[in-house]
Amino acid sequence: MQSNNLLELAGAVSSGAVRVVDLTFTLSPDFPVIVLPPEFGQAAPVRIQEISRYDGRGPAWYWNNVTFGEHTGTHFDAPIHWFTGKNLPNNAVDTMPAKDMIAPACVIDCSAQAAQDPDFLLTVPLVEAWEAKHGRIPERNWVLLRTDWSKKGWRDYSNLKDDGAHTPGPNAAVMKWLVEERGVIGFGTETIGTDAGQAGHFEPPYPAHHFLHGAGRYGLQCLCNLDQLPATGAVIVASPLKIQNGSGSPLRVIALVAST
């Protein structure tokens, strides 16, 4: 690629010819986190503590101490997060190839189905139907599952019942197929987790984690504004914090979209 093409891109971003869509929720203590049974270790919630705010603690400056678990807010999952990816090379956020942080996305709109059924599952036939309309999913693309889940209030968003969360996601077959037959670089959702709320009962449990990370691919979750993306053609920039041997991190996810 010629360097003036890059400058052209920068110009297009600046002029608005290329739209930048922020797919990130604000990292805040109010945002729901994953709830595991209490006997397991829990993700530390997001905490923001003032160091000073133009006051006696620091007269001219405002800054905070921030603490959070690796899997809080809009966040990235690296292969090392799951046992299936634990022995892969360069499987953590600090060692993953930087080039994997920029990739195109296919957005599959299942918002209508998810509105009907909180346990809606993406299946291979549904993706094949999407491909019939938009073309085959190219290799090393993100597949983003649009459910409009990010537009809900927090209670409906986490949708916890006595038997756990009820939120949409992929079934096991489609995850295996996307990884093995389509070579996706990763899978992204609007919900807490790349897997469905009830995915612990699937075979294998948590198939998105199982297949993606087992093949060295990535996950993105708690995304928003997927409704502003075209079915194909958006480019995702997702660079997690470079945490030493980190299994994931909150991050700013943006999409570059050519204006039509």
Partner 1 sequence: MLQRCEACGSFAYPAREACPSCLSAGLAFVDAPRQGVLLAETTARVPSDVYFRERAPWRIGLVKMDCGPTIVTHLHADCVEGAPVRMSFQLDKSGQAVAFAHPEGETPNMADDKQWREMTADPKFRRVLVTNGRSMIGQEAVAALKAAGAKTVFVGVAEPWRPFAGEQLLRGQDGIEIVTLDAADEKSAADLAADIGGKVDILVNTTEYVRPGGLLDRRGTSIARDEIDQAYLGFINLAQAFGPAMRMRGADGINNSAAWVNILSVHALANWPAFGAYSASQAACMSLSHCLRAELRPGGVRVMNLFTGPVDTEWFQTVPPPKVAPRAIAQAIVSGLRGGLEEMYVGDVAEEIRQRLGANPKALERELDR
Residue 44 binding partner 1, by CB under 8 A: yes
Select from 47, 57, 86, 242 the one that contacts partner 1 (CB under 8 A): 47
Q: For the chain, give the number of residues.
A: 260
Residue 36 binding partner 1, by CB under 8 A: no
Closest distance between partner 1 and the C-beta of residue 164, in Å? 12
Residue 128 binding partner 1, by CB under 8 A: no
| Exposure string over 155-178, b if 16+ CB within 10 A, otherwise e | eebbbeeeebbbbbbbbbbbbbbb
Alpha helices in 108-239 (DSSP H): 111-116, 124-134, 154-158, 172-180, 207-214
Closest distance between partner 1 and the C-beta of residue 49, in Å? 5
Residue 45 binding partner 1, by CB under 8 A: yes
Select from 21, 24, 25, 32 the one that contacts partner 1 (CB under 8 A): 32
Q: How does DSSP classify residue 44?
A: P
- 256 closest CA partner among 14, 3, 7: 14
Catalytic residue status for 81:
yes
Site string for partner 1, 153-172 (x = CB under 8 A): xxx-xx-xx-----------
Residue 6 binding partner 1, by CB under 8 A: no
Closest distance between partner 1 and the C-beta of residue 195, in Å? 19
Which residues neighbour 141 within 8 Å (Cβ) at sequence distance 6 or greater? 103, 104, 105, 106, 182, 184, 185
What is the number of alpha carbons within 13 Å of residue 184 lying toward its C-beta?
Answer: 27
Interface ranges with partner 1 (CB under 8 A): 29, 32, 35, 41-42, 44-45, 47-50, 153-155, 157-158, 160-161
